[in-house]
Structure 1
């Protein structure tokens, strides 16, 4: 079901780092440390933690994005480039359906504050024929993107916004780089509205995922933080309100897997 948003936020000297309060200025470096640690096993852990369902969520997200030939994507907190590769593949498929090989190819910019995450995905930046993808990787902060105003058609962020220190600032900056009429999509873990599902989800998250991180990634603590950060993230309506306050129009969201994840979307109008 897709929900419409209606139109809150806070600041202070401390901020949540999972269930721990830390000085606001320390969060970015702590998050960087988490992803430095898990970068090499990040994609494998995503498959293991979600039983591969994250791939379905990303495919559904790209169906909603509907990439077109010639469009420019900015994938914020794009890490290994998983979402960007889907974007380029769909845009190329659209081009092939039109049988217009001269049409301009789509391109993707993968932006992440963590260099280790960007490096971890570089060897996959080729298409099915072994040709380099039309993709650029750049180190940058979601709160202060290294791009000019009005320069991309689509901005995506998948499972990254909850790790940003100032989400309001990041939302405003992602809107800034969009062209007028551009679209924004945020895929993030969320809160299942059904109590029974929420309890099962909590039981699995806190008892299984950190232990799995210890075995597969050799880092139980980082996955403990990631589980806690999901619980601290605003619920669906609250995040939709943040998007509206950042200036996005036509804000809505769609729950995936009963609200375990949610896709929020909005337009630069």
Structure 2
């Protein structure tokens, strides 16, 4: 039995991947949002706006934003009146998110925005707790994606919705070739110049290539038990919004 998982292009033990991914995000936490702007030319903001528009957060809803880190998705949903639990396995990312929340005037005591350290594969919440589960640019870093999807289903109420925003496989030939060159050669250099860390951004580029194509990931979501699954490619599959419902 193969007891290794991919960490970029390298096969490691599950425990080692969890540790290494933690090290990556601890290293980049303070520069994470600046790098997102630099890497995408600011496009990530439009992708996240589109993602939240698809989620349709409603006032009073309980939403779990997994791998929510620095709060980009959570802030957008909380502004619409939803109660957001921001969960992340990395405390350094959560610390940055909590600081940003204070700067934006969110008060953790009123329950509109709560930060908690959680492993997506085994969260501490009771079954049927949330109306929606969101995860943006985080699922590919989970050691066992199938376990995280099962947990997402478990913590949702019947009728709850799952939404995932993630990099995917570019299907436009010209863009695919340009993106391959960019991510392979330029992204690590940008990581070094801006965040002082080329290796972490080399891993992030490799993790995108190792992530399942859109049809394969949709099948994983269905296998976890979600119904009415859907994939919405953006920019030819550079990123994609995956969704499903708990029936």
TM-score of the pair, normalised by structure 1: 0.88
Q: Deviations over 1:56-96 (max 9, x none)?
A: 0000001111111110110001101110000111x23xxxx
Mapping 1:196-207, distance limit 5 Å: 196-207=174-185
2:100 corresponds to 1:110: no
- Tell me the residue number matched to 2:30: 40
Alpha-carbon distance in 2 for matches of 1:131, 1:51: 28
User: Is the 1:12–1:24 contact (alpha carbons within 8 Å) kept by the matching residues of 2?
Assistant: no
Normalising by structure 2, report the TM-score. 0.96
Which residue of structure 1 lines up, in the alignment, with residue 48 of structure 2? Answer: 58
> Is this contact kept in 1: 2:137–2:166, CA < 8 A?
yes
CA distance in 1, matches of 2:196, 2:103: 31
- Per the alignment, residue 18 of structure 1 pairs with 8
Asked which structure has the greater CA Rg, the reply is 1
* 1:37 Cα offset (Å): 0.4
Tell me how far apart the structure 2 counterparts of residues 203 and 237 of structure 1 sit (CA, whole Å): 24
- 1:127 is displaced (CA, Å) by 8.0
Distance in 2 (CA, whole Å) between partners of 1:238 and 1:131 is 38
- What does residue 171 of structure 1 align with? 149
How far apart are 1:121 and its partner, in Å?
1.6
Q: 1:131 to 1:114 in 2, by over 3 A?
A: closer
**RMSD in angstroms over aligned alpha carbons?**
1.2
Shift of the alpha carbon at 1:25? 2.2
* Structure 2: gaps of 5 or more residues: none
Which structure is richer in relative contact order (CA contacts within 8 A, separation 6 or more)? 1
Counterpart residue number, 1:220: 198
Contact conserved, 1:168 with 1:246, CA < 8 A, in 2? yes
Stretch moving more, 17-26 or 56-65: 17-26
**Structure 1: gaps spanning 5 or more residues:** 1-10, 93-105
Residue 146 of structure 1, CA deviation: 1.3
Give the number of equivalent residue pairs.
244
Q: Which residue of 2 aligns with 1:258?
A: 236
Q: Does 1:136 align with 2:111?
A: no
Q: Deviations over 1:91-129 (max 9, x none)?
A: 23xxxxxxxxxxxxx21000000000000121221486x
For 1:84 and 1:121, how far apart are their aligned partners in 2? 9
Structure 1 residue 142, shift from structure 2 partner: 0.3
Residue 131 to residue 221, structure 1, CA distance change in 2 (3 Å): closer
SS of the equivalent of 2:68 reads coil
Superposed displacement of residue 194, structure 1:
2.0
**How far does residue 231 in structure 1 lie from its aligned partner after superposition?**
0.1
Q: Which moved more, 1:177-186 or 1:187-196?
A: 187-196
Which residue of 52, 64, 67 corresponds with 1:74? 64
2:222 to 244, 257, 267: 244
